[in-house]
Structure 1
């Protein structure tokens, strides 16, 4: 796309671009459509991507879909990586991708406990039976062991079914703050006690926008527009009228109910998942060298990553921290 046309599109953001002028872009998520992807769907549904000169197709993920492989193969342009550890792993395995924005300032990973345990801090969960997934055992649980002294002996496999947790009042279960607490409350009739790992020092980024290095090198203007429009989409989804985004999510995933979507958005706002910390000053999507370095040190200590990993290759700050969309945050 000519630079003059790009500049016009960005300057006249209120006027939708013509179909002929749009750059076709594909974005693969890492799971089925849900509120945790809401800002991206919102930017499609309300025309934000079009205002930035983009014709964006979202390719939902799922249990039998590997969109990252499609990204690496050049079949899709951008991918929604789960967290910073995934970015570190790409460097370790010489995968030519780079993180260009972090939509979640906080990882939504939580541990849930029964109210009758009277647990008030993370350490109170150590004596309990802990339901942890295979992925959790190789990531955050290693940190729990190194930082808080948790033990493997209490761990049982978590199969993304809350029933074993519900049946055992002396247990804790992993989950996402925006979904599992709601599911447990609906199924069991009690509100679980929530421990957000990010608030205890597990300071990775989550819901990352990732692309191939050749995209950054050859099409930086397109990458910038996709990042900026996605940021605007998240402001609209979290703080504005998100009905268009939710309608698209429900169309792609009929299991998403209005109640579940509303709960997820409320929890993301309550816990500062999308907008907190650095994003309050630099805008949604913000990242910092200091934050990534801090998390890398914790993962080295926990034995999750090698100390000689060139972790700075996993991300770039070139496209974030520009204050995009700050005017969309409610003033009160």
Structure 2
């Protein structure tokens, strides 16, 4: 995730149900297909290679869905756009969606792209911090919005947060290089690659190795869409097309990077070499033992339980966080097995 993994949600008030007039989901009498919008949280880069590959290969069209993919960016808050019906499906983080639901948004998570969260601890290769325990007595550069996550992970692993000197930082890893801190809260597919391109070697470890089980880039929709037979068919087509798109993108990561750089992301002036590296990093985050057994974008009962515990640990409100997840669309998509 190239954006802030610890994004602080904007207050969401008076969110309404699905509005067909907004064009997020509907049918076309002429073509017999349904029209729908997928709202991304971030720009058109390799983070979203799966949906764009699915669009390029015609996988959504084959499922009877005329899909528009709308890029996001630093100022994009996806939840209100889906809740108000401006998009049928959105991509966001589990905790951000959960906070929106706590404020009244009628949303459900229906599939999970990143089975492992890319949030990681990065240090310089010549001064490595190899484990969470190694942070004790060290200076850690951490974004303000991620402080609760770091505290929860440390405490969950028997480490007193007071034993780690927290240094406020943004998402630029320059303070690590300058020696202002010994380690830096990063995204595996972002800052380490930025520094590598500058000739700076780093070492990283994932917070998911220490119990931070928060799926990333999850697909979500509204309760109303899930309750409507026509919308459900469209949702099945979007999830299936996205899974097939990711399958192709992961099978040839260089080709996926080239598609994004020369196609949808052309106006972003993306660096092809960096995008190829980032795309390769996504493979192990998206394709796991779980998805090998149950299909890409899977949401297992064990995985849901892990996400619920993580959200509780970081203070996400809600008495029944498990109800945030609806697996019925995935069950329909994989009803005949994982070979799509």
TM-score (structure 2 length as normaliser): 0.82
Q: Deviations over 1:104-127 (max 9, x none)?
A: 111111110112334332211232
Q: 1:81-120 maps to which residues of 2 (within 5 A)?
A: 81-82=92-93, 84-120=94-130
**Which structure 1 residue ranges, 4+ long, deviate > 6 Å from structure 2?**
none
- Among 216, 225, 239, the residue aligned to 1:215: 225
Instruction: Report the secondary structure of 1:144's partner residue.
Output: helix
Distance of aligned partners of 1:139 and 1:200 in 2 relative to their CA distance in 1, 3 Å threshold: closer
Q: Which runs of 5+ in 1 are unaligned?
A: 1-17
Gap change, CA 1:19 and 1:209, over 3 Å in 2: farther
Aligned to 2:72: 61
Q: 1:30 aligns with which of 18, 33, 41?
A: 41
1:198 aligns with 2:208: yes
Distance across 2 between alignment mates of 1:197 and 1:250: 29
Q: Which residue does 1:248 correspond to in 2? A: 263
Q: Pairwise mapping of residues 203-282 of structure 1 onto structure 2 (< 5 A)?
A: 203-218=213-228, 219-240=231-252, 241-242=255-256, 243-254=258-269, 256-269=270-283, 272-282=284-294
Matches within 5 A, 1:65-76: 65-76=76-87
Asked whether the 8 Å contact 2:188–2:204 carries over to 1, the reply is: yes
- Cα 1:89–1:140 change in 2 (3 A) is farther
The Cα shift of 1:32 comes to 1.5
Render the CA deviation track for 1:32-60: whole Å, top value 9, x for unaligned: 22211110111112221111111211111
Preserved contact between residue 130 and residue 172 of structure 1 (Cα < 8 Å): yes
Shift of the 86–170 alpha-carbon distance from structure 1 to 2, 3 Å rule, reads: closer
Match of 2:6 in 1: none
Report the CA distance shift for 1:327/1:246 in structure 2 as closer, same or farther (over 3 A). Answer: farther
The answer (yes or no) to whether the contact 2:139–2:167 under 8 Å persists in 1 is: yes
CA displacement at 1:147 relative to structure 2: 2.5
Asked whether 1:47 is paired with 2:61, we answer no
Cα deviations across residues 242-263 of structure 1 (Å, max 9, x unaligned)? 2434432432422x22111110
> CA separation in 1, counterparts of 2:335 and 2:132?
34
Deviates more, 1:55-64 or 1:235-244: 235-244
Contact 2:108 2:325 in 1 (8 A): yes
**Do structure 1's residue 130 and structure 2's residue 140 form an aligned pair?**
yes
Query: Cα gap change, 1:25/1:325 in structure 2, threshold over 3 Å: closer, same or farther?
Result: farther
SS at 2:304 equivalent: helix
Residue of structure 2 aligned with 1:183, choices 194, 197, 205: 194
TM-score, structure 1 normalization: 0.84
Q: CA RMSD in A?
A: 2.4
Aligned length: 305
Instruction: Check 1:131–1:118 CA distance in 2 against 1; reply closer, same or farther (3 A cut).
Output: closer
Q: Which moved more, 1:21-30 or 1:224-233?
A: 21-30
5+ residue gaps, structure 2, are 1-28
